[in-house]
Amino acid sequence: MKVVVLVKQVPDTETSIKLGDKSINEAGIKWIISPYDEFAIEEGIKLREKNGGEVIAVTVGPDRTQEALRTAYAMGVDKAVHIKVDNYNTFDSVFTSELIANFVKSVGADLVISGKQSIDTDSSQVGVQVAEFLGWGHVALATKLEINGSTAKIVKEIEGGNAEVEAALPLVLTAQKGLNEPRYPSLKGIMTAKKKPIETKTPADLGNPAASIEIVSLEPPPPRIPGRKLEAADAEGFAVQLVKALREEAKVI
């Protein structure tokens, strides 16, 4: 079985983000693998350990994203591929997804696993868009996976509970917390990962898709409007004041 796991490098959640004109200011940022992608990596490795095959980690972005691939190597993937895009726009999920889908086609993968979302843009779009470009089925928010031959049995999170579904391979899966417990890279794995080769692709190698989003500028959200405390003697008085404020001040009713 050939499994492709999607890896995105994102700022650490404790990093203070400062804006530039059209992108964030990267000075001083600590970069990590998006945590949900760690579940994807671990699941790919578990499948290889059980069924044999190969796990390929792939990322899109500038040169610094190779650090994330080194971490994936240290966790245990077999191969790492960097789709090099120097002016990478993290918000352009369609461009990213088409590049990844074209790569997946080129290697003949059986399964693609990504995190359910990245913790920077939180769009939850790449997994489903990769499936759409490939013409494959897609199952989101997986918390359990079993594969028997060409059939996958998946437990997925839904509002208020879980659902059990079956799907045929090839398939795209997005991983939710609880799918597994990602392993920590060992010291030996970290040292070995530094010497392993990273294959580099460019958009020209993968159909040269056109970017679909242009960032004109970035700016922080406006300051939150301070709240106002209502004063009344009873519930009816509060209700009257609230409705009046919503109608005359907020103009939402």
Sign, CA dihedral 67-68-74-77, equals negative
Cα distance between residue 78 and residue 90, in whole Å: 26
Close Cβ partners of 244 (under 8 Å, ≥ 6 residues apart)? none
Global pTM reads 0.86
Q: Pull the structure tokens for residue 138.
A: 């897609």
For residue range 29-73, list pLDDT tens digits in order.
Answer: 999 999 999 999 999 999 999 999 999 999 999 999 999 999 999
Sequence-distant (≥ 6) Cβ neighbours of residue 146 within 8 angstroms: 152, 153, 154
Q: Is there a cis peptide before residue 220, judged by omega within 30 degrees of 0?
A: no
Digit-coded pLDDT (tens) for 156-207: 999 999 999 999 999 999 999 999 999 999 899 999 999 999 999 999 999 9
